[in-house]
Chain A
Amino acid sequence: MNNLLALPVVLPLLGSLLALVWPRRADWAGLGASVAAFVAAGHIGAEVMRNATLELAVGGWAPGLGIALRADGLSASLLLMSTLVALAAGLYATTYFAEAQKRADFWPLWLLMITALHALLLSGDLFNIYVTLELLGLAAVALAALGGSRAALQAAVRYLTVGLLGSLAFLTGVGLIYAGYGTLDMVMLAGRVDAEPATWVALALMTAGLLIKSALFPMHFWLPSAHANAPAPVSAALSALVVKAAFYLVLRLWLDVFDVALSQASAGLLGLLGASAVIWGSWQAYRAERLKLLAAYSTVAQIGYLFLFIPVLLATEPGEARDLLFGALVLFALTHGFSKSAFFLGAGVILHRAGHDRIAELGGTARALPVTTFVLALAGIALIGLPPSGTFLAKWQLMTSAIAAGQWLWIPVIAIGTLLAGAYVFRVLGHAFGPGEGVGPSLAWARAELPALLLALVATAVLGLGAAQVWTMVVPGSNAEGVSL
């Protein structure tokens, strides 16, 4: 059954080709491929819950020579998130792009991006990862430019330049590793890596490339304009998925492959950058005048939280305590993926309706678009980290582990970041509840609002109340109990 692993890559690719050769049926090809990929990801998730890891050597070549696909709890859960977010955002795109021509342009690129992302998540080999990373970046740039406005094009060019720089650094690091160890398969490398200067340089280069791509402060400068000016469904995927792909690789490299070569100080540096990102990103989000820009800066902050986990993880003894924290990290990433994509789709609905997304002029939104306001509130709860969202549980665990590891510095960072997030989310809601006609007259519930609502509900209710399943998936043999009613 391990051929299953190829499906999340093959299906979107097939869909992309179909949409390209048959533009008039692009919607069907795109949505069909998205649904199929989601089902496949669900099966992979179920398999991983049973067997811990899946592996597929494509074409029967042994790892080290051929292409190896692997899925463990981490990649399977991110895969599941990616397929569901892509499905919802794709569904929204069919209403967002009114003209058929736009949709015909959108679908092939979109599915190509999803293909690259899934291949990245499933790759077990550093060179393949480089290829998928590059492909992912290029598809993302093309999509970001799809809006066609001058600002969008400028932002996309900058996104492209920075992305290429990041890939270049990553590739150089990969080259050094190959020269030193003669293999790029991550499992093989994990057993061979030594703590020596060449390894450190290689790891530093790869990490630097990935930090640029994951927009960790202070390398975040390209993100807000790129994410805020892209079409709303694309912004959702960029913020929820693409940035997280780079973070996923940092996690893989640091925890699974190069853990012997690491020092606590380097992890502390990542933590400090993450802390700065939390504070700076949240503050900029609070000051943002446009809804999508706010969401983009909020991504900068939330990526910062993800990096805060790394020093605490490395300071926690392997075993139950570390597994708990690792599960919390995955839960955080998942919740952010769903809530941020919901937020961007909601912002897209408002933008379409009002013709602008200036926060100060959102008066009357709660009356005219109650469902979308509800979406922003639900997604906002998850961004702040209030119950019942998954972020709340993840932050609880992060704080617990930080206190247990004696890393008290992160506690005020989390507290301030959370309060700033409360400030920026409720600034939006305050305007939305206020008087005004900013978004036009009231209309009944619209189809365009549905995908965002779905994503927001996953972020707050499903991932909050069903969070125990995340640990079951991520931690092999974990004893998280389910329902005990």
Chain B
Amino acid sequence: MSLSNSLPLLILLSSLLPGLAIFLLREESFRLRTALNLFGASVKLILVGVMIWGVFHEQVYETRWTLAPGLDLVLHADALSVLFVSLSTLLWLVTTVYAIGYLEDSPHRSRFFGFFSLCVTATVGLALAGNLFTFVVFYEFLTLATYPLVAHKGTPEAIRGARIYLAYTLAGGMALLIGAVWLRTLAGPLDFVQGGILGGMDHLDPWTLRWIFLLLIVGLGVKAALVPLHGWLPQAMVAPAPVSALLHAVAVVKAGAFGIVRVVYDVYGVEFAASLGVLALLGAAAAVTIIYGSVKALSQDNLKKRLAYSTVSQVSYIALGTAILGPLATVGGMVHLVHQGVMKITLFFAAGNYAEALGVHRVSEMDGVGRRMPGTTLAFTIGALGMIGIPPVAGFVSKWYLGLGAAESGAALWVLPVLVGSSLLNAAYFLPILYRAWFGQPPAKWPGGHTHAGRWEINQALLWPPLLTAGLALAAGLFAAAPYSPLEWARLIAEREYSL
């Protein structure tokens, strides 16, 4: 039992055990629950810090547990998993603080925070999964852990949204499962290896591999909300704001996108996948999704729905970066995994604040919110500008590298129009919101009715998280070239994937 074979397990347990303990707490034990939550999140953060340092210095961390003969549950740290683990750990901590403030007096908090911790456990498990089997296990586990969160309010709409979510994700999970089982019968244990494993297996029939790729991508595409598999995402908006924030930034959609990255780079190998021709398919799906999501976002008046369609669009940048062969596009896709998370969580925190403080749920009600809630609106503005891709916010860096990568690989002809078009569309659905918020005339009475009499515009636990994540989004763009920045880390991954 040394650190090198226990660290991944400890990282998993640092949210699993507090989560299980929280289930047993009574509703009233507010302090103990908060302490457990924050303790778990902080321990995880420290452990992940150790892991970042170690992986940078080429340490090997692996926990292995034999579930059945030939089926190992493997938790393994490599540069890519560390990228995702750090994102989820950091944002989990922030979202926990936010959720504690958000759910202050609502019922079933023990249940909520219990599943919340399980959800993060599943995400971290996905990030650390060392083979496709382990990935499938945590992928299904994530579905189970998020269902109660989506259904949390218990209203008929919430139950319905959760049911739709479940129908999509279970069906997707089944496609992934069949693909994984099939591939395993052909190619053995399917450990994730940088550079892929299938390229060296000449005996495999290319058409079989194409069909399996399709099954895997359909399974992952449901969570990644690739069109036409995205139908659950706008329905899942009924969840409480912290859940939406986590779902859109870290947990569910990211799990799908991360899985696509894993399958392309570490199972098929990006060059082998390109030679099979399947990357073109993935690229086309991503391009369609990017444009479609943006177009749909334009017409949504409900703020959270507009953000949801924006997620549909933005997450596919990751798939797009994956589908373009070449290290620069890889960097763009990988770094967007982090950038999109930080920016989108900011936007959802802000949307939650508007709903909580003012009862504002619709874009058309947002006139003058900037004057009433300047801090929240500042954070929202930074996030929105980042989504459009305006420098120096992080989103610009992602798009820049995607564009460079497209030029490098010769795919510029179709990628650049997609990038430009989607940026214009992003501007078209975000800028009017910003204009309304800052320059619109605030109504005499907000829809929520109740007036807030405090020093701050809203409870501090709700104010600081969006400001912090907005700051991160800004910093990730401003200091993109600093060591350990998301961009530098994405470069490290690309170097290792392409063995540069």
Contact = CB atoms under 8 A, between A and B. Distances in A.
Interface stretch (A82-90, A179-187, A397-405): A397-405
Interface string A418-443: 11001100100110011100000000
A173 interface: no
B148 interface: yes
B148 A433 contact: yes
Contact of B66 (A403, A422, A482): A482
A481 B1 CA distance: 17
Nearest to A430: B159
Interface in B39-95: 63-71
A468 B69 contact: yes
A172 interface: no
Contacts of A328: 68
Contacts of B144: 381, 386
B356 interface: no
Contact of A327 (B1, B68, B184): B68
Q: Which interface residue of B69, B108, B151 has the most chain A CB atoms within 10 A?
A: B69
Contacts of A327: 68-69
A376 to B, nearest CB: 13
Given A418-B174, A468-B67, A483-B65, A403 B163 contact: no
B68 A468 contact: yes
Nearest to B24: A445
A434 B140 contact: no
Contacts of A479: 69
A463 to B, nearest CB: 10
Nearest to A403: B185
Contact of A480 (B69, B140, B170): B69
Contacts of B108: 367
Interface residues of A, number: 46
A482 B72 CA distance: 11
B68 A435 contact: no
Given A435-B154, A435-B155, A324 B174 contact: no
A485 interface: yes
Nearest to A485: B1
A419 B163 CA distance: 13
A476 to B, nearest CB: 13
B424 interface: no
A454 B173 CA distance: 28
A387 interface: yes
A46 interface: no
Contact of A433 (B71, B107, B151, B184): B151
Given A381-B144, A400-B184, A484-B66, A430 B170 contact: no
Interface in A327-350: 327-328, 331
Contacts, number: 107
B411 interface: no
Interface string A382-422: 00101110001100110110011000000100010011001
Contacts of B133: 396
Contacts of A485: 1, 5-6, 9, 63, 65
A419 B174 contact: yes
A128 interface: no
Contact of A396 (B71, B111, B141): B71
A15 B64 CA distance: 45
A484 B63 CA distance: 8
Given A418-B174, A419-B170, A426 B69 contact: no
Nearest to B147: A426
A73 interface: no
Interface string A448-485: 00000000000000001101100100000011111111
B178 A411 contact: yes
A175 interface: no
B36 interface: no
Contacts of A433: 148, 151, 154, 159, 162
A23 interface: no
A370 interface: yes
B137 interface: yes
A370 B110 CA distance: 11
Interface in B458-478: none
Interface string A24-41: 000000000000000000
Contact of B137 (A387, A400, A411, A480): A387
A480 B68 CA distance: 7
Nearest to A472: B69
A467 B69 CA distance: 9
Q: Which interface residue of B9, B70, B111, B181 has the most chain A CB atoms within 10 A?
A: B181
A399 B137 contact: no
Given A419-B174, A485-B5, A386 B69 contact: no
A435 B67 CA distance: 39
A397 B177 CA distance: 11
B156 interface: yes
B66 A481 contact: yes
Contacts of B68: 324, 327-328, 331, 393, 396-397, 467-468, 471, 480
A423 B163 CA distance: 9
Given A324-B69, A465-B65, A480-B66, A434 B156 contact: yes
B171 interface: yes
- By Cβ-Cβ distance, the 5 closest A-B pairs, closest first, are A387-B137, A399-B181, A422-B170, A480-B69, A403-B185
16 contacts: A386-B141, A386-B144, A388-B137, A388-B141, A393-B68, A400-B185, A403-B185, A418-B174, A422-B170, A426-B147, A429-B147, A430-B163, A467-B67, A480-B69, A484-B65, A485-B65
Interface of A: 324, 327-328, 331, 366-367, 370, 374, 381, 384, 386-388, 392-393, 396-397, 399-400, 403-404, 411, 415, 418-419, 422-423, 426, 429-430, 433-435, 464-465, 467-468, 471, 478-485
Given A388-B137, A397-B71, A419-B170, 16 more contacts: A324-B68, A327-B68, A367-B108, A387-B136, A399-B177, A403-B181, A411-B178, A418-B170, A430-B159, A433-B148, A434-B154, A434-B159, A465-B65, A471-B68, A480-B69, A485-B63
